[in-house]
Amino acid sequence: PPPAAAPAGVLAAAPAPAAPSRPPPGWAPAGRVSPEHDVQLTLALRQQGTARLARLVRAVSDPRSPRYGRFLSLEQLRDLVQPSPATLMTVLKWLRGHGVESCSSVATLDFLQCHMPASMAERLLPGAEFHRYLKDQRSVVRSPLPYTIPKDLAEHVDFVGGLHRFPAERNVVSRAWAKEQAEPGQPHGQRAAFHLGVTPSVIRKRYNMTGGDVGLLPNNSQACAQFLEQYFHQADLAEFMQLFGSSFAHHSKVDQVVGHQGWGKAGLEASLDVEYIMSTGANISTWVFSNAGRHESQEPFLAWLLLLSNMSSLPWVHSVSYGDDEDSLSSAYLQRVNVEFMKAAARGLTVLFASGDDGAGCRRVPGGNHTFRPSFPASSPYVTTVGGTSFKNPFLVTTEVTDYISGGGFSNVFPMPDYQAAAVRSFLRSAAKLPPSSYYNSSGRAYPDLAALSDNYWVVTNRIPLPWVSGTSASTPVVAGMLALVNDRRLQRGQAPLGFVNPALYQLRERGHGEALYDVTQGCHLSCLDGAVQGQGFCAGPAWDPVTGWGTPNFPRLLRALLEA
C-alpha cells in the first residue's frame, strides 16, 4: 500500500520492483524508443486465497499428512487464487480508460499481458520512460526510472513487469582440473574408477544408478527452462548420446519445445541442461521451455511463470539454472514470485533451481561493511535448491567434497520454513566455525537442500565435445532427472508424483533413510574477500549444511525412501 502521507487520489509509488539507477554491467543505453514503439507489460494482479494456498501446499507435500499427494488441477487452482471481481473490474477500467485494448490473461486470471505503444505505457505508468539498451547484439527496452500507479490501483496490482529487470546472467564456467592437488590414498577395499572428467557414466557410477534405472512410462515427463538468448541443438544432443549414452536406454531427441527455439549458435548452458537431465532422467520424455525474450520488453523468467499458470498439462519435474541477487528485487516481486512457486507445488510440480556459483556471495552495505548475498529463486522456501560438489580426487570416482563455488546461505526476505527448522538449527548449534552473525540472517530460509557434482563436465555444443564445464547449472539437471525417475516408479505403482519434495527430503533421516543421500562433510565455499571472513563463507559438516544441503543422491536408497513417502 502507498505511504500514508500521500494525499487521497494522488499517484502513489507503485508496489513495484525498485528501478535500478543504472543497468547492469555491459548493457549500454541507446536512447529513448519512439513513442509508437510496441512494449509488452505484464500486470501481476492481486490474488485471493494465498494463506489457504500455503496451508494446502503444506498438506499435499508432507508425507505425514492425510492429504499428501492430493494435488489441484489448474481449474481448482484458479478457483482458489483468482483475483476478486473488484480487482478485475478496477484494473480493466483503468486500462480501458488509457486506451489499452490488446491484453490477454492466463488460466488462473492473475496475470494480464498487454501490448501498447510506449507513449501510452508512459501515460499509464507516470514516471516510466522507455529506453533501449544493447549488449552483445541483444536489445532490451526498459525504464531507468521508477513508475507510479494511481493510489486506488495499489491494492489490486502486485507489480508491473517489463519495465526494470534486465535478463539475469548465470553462465556455466569452464575451468582447469588441477585447481587442487589430487588427494593421496584411497581407503582400502574401495576401488575407484579413473576418469577424465564427468560424463553420464561417471554420474551413474557415483550415484549407484544401473542400466535398469531408466524411464518406462509414456505419460511421465521432465523439463528444463532456459532464459538466456541461447539454444540447444538436437544434433548436439544426438552426438552427446552417441558418445556417452551407450550404457543406458535413452532418448536422443527433445520431445517438445515450448517457446522460441532459435537457430543461432548452441549455448553451453542450454546444451548442458538438456544433455544431463536426459542422462540421469534417461528414457523420459523431455520438454524445453525456451523463453529467450523475443520481445524487447519481455522478461523471460516472468514469461515462463505465466506459462506455468496457463498450461493444464505440464511435465512433473522442472530444472532451472537461473538466479538474481535477492537484494536487487523488490519485496513485492519476490513475494509474488514465491506465490507462483506455491501454485506449482499445489499442482504437484517439482521445481529445482541452481543454488548459484558465487558461494555465499558478497555485498557492501551502507557504512562500508560486508554481508553475504543470497540468490533468488534459490532462496524461495517453495523450490528445491541444488548446490555443487567436486570429487575429492579429481581423477577418481570417489567421495565428494564441497565445490567452492556452490551457492548457499540464508534468505534476507523469506523466514525459515518449518520443514527445515530442526536441521538448520542443529547446523547453527554444532558447526565447528561460523562466519560473524552480522553476515547472514540465521532465521531466514536456508539453502541449498541437496547437491550433486558440479565440476569438470563434458558437454557437446555446436558439435564439439568440450571438457571442464562447471557450475550448479550442471548439478541441477542431474538431480532433476533422478527425481523424474522416482516419479516414473511412483506412477507405475499408482502413486501420485512427488510434487514439492522438500518436506520429504528433510524427513529422510527421522524416517530411517539417512543413507539416501551421501553426506558431504569437507570443504567451504567462497565469500567476501575481507579481513573478517577472508574469502570463506560457510563450511560443510555432518547432516545438513548451507553449502551442500543434505548431500548428494545415493540413487537406489533415495528411490526406496521416496517410494515409501
Residues tagged active-site: 269, 273, 473
Sequence-ordered list of residues with C-beta below 8 angstroms from that of 434, at least 6 positions apart, any chain = 428, 538
* The three cell numbers locating residue 510: 527421522
* Amino acid sitting at position 486: V
Distances (CA, A) of 206 to 133, 161, 354, 509, 544: 45, 43, 20, 21, 20
Report whether 543 contacts 509 (CB < 8 A): yes
Separation CA 542–CA 408 (nearest Å): 16
Report whether 152 contacts 250 (CB < 8 A): no
Q: Is 507 exposed, middle or buried (0-12, 13-18, 19+ CB in 10 A)?
A: middle
| Alpha-helical segments (H) within 62-127 | 74-81, 85-97, 118-124
Sequence-ordered list of residues with C-beta below 8 angstroms from that of 137, at least 6 positions apart, any chain = none
Separation CA 250–CA 211 (nearest Å): 10
* Three-state secondary-structure class, residue 141: strand
Nearest to 356 by CA among 471, 254, 274: 471
* The three cell numbers locating residue 189: 577395499
* Amino acid sitting at position 130: F
Separation CA 402–CA 218 (nearest Å): 37
For 454, half-sphere exposure in the C-beta direction (CA atoms, 13 angstrom radius) is 35
Distances (CA, A) of 111 to 136, 149, 159: 31, 17, 10
Separation CA 110–CA 90 (nearest Å): 13
Other CB atoms within a 10 A radius of the CB of residue 101 amount to: 10
Nearest to 302 by CA among 422, 159, 198, 430: 159
Q: Quick one: DSSP state of residue 198? A: B
